[in-house]
Amino acid sequence: MADVAFLLADQFEDSEMDNPYKALEEAGHTITIIGLENGEALIGKHGSTYITDFAASEAKGTSFDAVIIPGGGAPETLRVNDDVIRLVTEVNEQKKLIAGICHGPQVMISADILKDRNATCFVGIRDDIKLAGATYQDQEVVVSENIITARTPKDEPAFIKEILKRLNK
């Protein structure tokens, strides 16, 4: 089974964290929550709460098989943290899975890993995706090499399906 890191900060979109988390846990994968501080209680836009297992400064890309980035307001906070960007870059360099939904690809933009890839996202950041060098596709889920992206909570079933397909190989 895979070791999966969720990158999280306050104001994440609850369902985009809750549903993939539950699906991966039920599939037997080990889950680690990484935030800006260790042991921090993070609260979603609708009240879900998670406690971080590690600070991004403590996390190493070699420790994880995948990184999942839920959307909402959290990616805006995460994308300006050098340790988060380092971690995502390390995971990408190893061609391990990086998945982001809604605003999650903002972290990928800041890590400069979308050039020459196909991607989707919340429509409000589609121009940012294009400016990062990706080809924007208005689809429920887009798989481009080791990167999986999705648009909104309504696309979660397809997003989760693609993540599980990749991790259960």
Q: Could you tell me which of 134, 67, 136 has the C-alpha nearest to residue 96?
A: 67
Q: Check if 121 is active-site.
A: no
Is 103 an active-site residue? yes
Pairing mode, strands 97-101 and 30-35: unpaired
Closest C-alpha among 153, 148, 150 to residue 165 = 148
Of 166, 87, 122, 124, nearest to 16 by C-alpha is 122
Do the Cβ atoms of 47 and 6 come closer than 8 Å?
no
Give me the catalytic one of 29, 46, 102, 121: 102
Close Cβ partners of 25 (under 8 Å, ≥ 6 residues apart):
31
- Out of 29, 46, 103, 121, the active site residue is 103
Contacts of 136 (CB under 8 A, 6+ apart): 119, 120, 121, 126, 129, 130
Catalytic residues: 102-103
